[in-house]
Amino acid sequence: MPFGPEFIRTLDALNLLARRLLAGEDRADRPTPRRGASLEFADYRRYTPGDEIRYIDWNVYARHGTLFVKEFAAEENIHVSVVLDTSASMAYGKASKFTAARELAAALGYIALANFDSLNVYTLGETLKASVRRLRGKRSVFPMLSALESVVPGGRTDFRTALATPLARPKGRSLAILFSDFQDPGGYAKAIRSLQSQGHQVHMIHVVAREELDPPDRGPYKLVDLETGERRPIALSPATLERYRARFRAYCDELERFATEHELYYARVRSDEPLDRRVREILRRGGILEKK
Bridge partners of 14, per DSSP, are: 291
The low-confidence residues of the chain, meaning pLDDT below 50, are 20-28, 32-39, 73-74
Q: For the CA atoms of the chain, what is the radius of gyration? A: 23
**Residue 19, in any domain of the structure:** no
Domain that holds residue 38: 30-76
**Residue 22, in any domain of the structure:** no
**pLDDT tens sequence across 249-287:** 999 999 999 999 998 999 999 999 999 999 999 999 988
Instruction: Quote the pLDDT of residue 73.
Output: 47
CB 86 within 8 A of CB 131: no
**Residue 191, in any domain of the structure:** yes
Query: Do 67 and 84 reside in the same domain of the chain?
Result: no
**Residue 66, in any domain of the structure:** yes
> How many whole angstroms separate alpha carbon 77 and alpha carbon 75?
7
Query: Do 113 and 161 reside in the same domain of the chain?
Result: yes
Closest-CA residue to 219 (of 198, 243, 202, 235)? 235
Bridge partners of 16, per DSSP, are: 289
CA 249-253-256 angle, to 5 degrees, is: 145
Instruction: Quote the pLDDT of residue 20.
Output: 39
Query: Do 53 and 139 reside in the same domain of the chain?
Result: no
CATH of the domain at 252: 3.40.50.410
> How many whole angstroms separate alpha carbon 236 and alpha carbon 221?
7
Closest-CA residue to 163 (of 225, 81, 101)? 81
113: helix, strand or coil: helix
**Residue 17, in any domain of the structure:** no
> How many whole angstroms separate alpha carbon 76 and alpha carbon 208?
34
Query: Do 93 and 68 reside in the same domain of the chain?
Result: no
CB 10 within 8 A of CB 277: no
Could you tell me the pTM of the whole model?
0.81
Sort residue 252 into left (φ over 0), alpha (ψ -120 to 50) or beta: alpha
Distances from the Cα of 92 to the Cα of 27, 96, 97, 168, 181, angstroms = 41, 5, 6, 30, 10
> How many whole angstroms separate alpha carbon 270 and alpha carbon 261?
23
Query: Do 95 and 44 reside in the same domain of the chain?
Result: no
End-to-end alpha carbon distance in the chain: 24
Query: Do 99 and 58 reside in the same domain of the chain?
Result: no
275: number of Cβ within 10 Å: 18
**Residue 215, in any domain of the structure:** yes
> How many whole angstroms separate alpha carbon 104 and alpha carbon 98?
10
**Residue 25, in any domain of the structure:** no
Instruction: Quote the pLDDT of residue 71.
Output: 63
Query: Do 103 and 216 reside in the same domain of the chain?
Result: yes
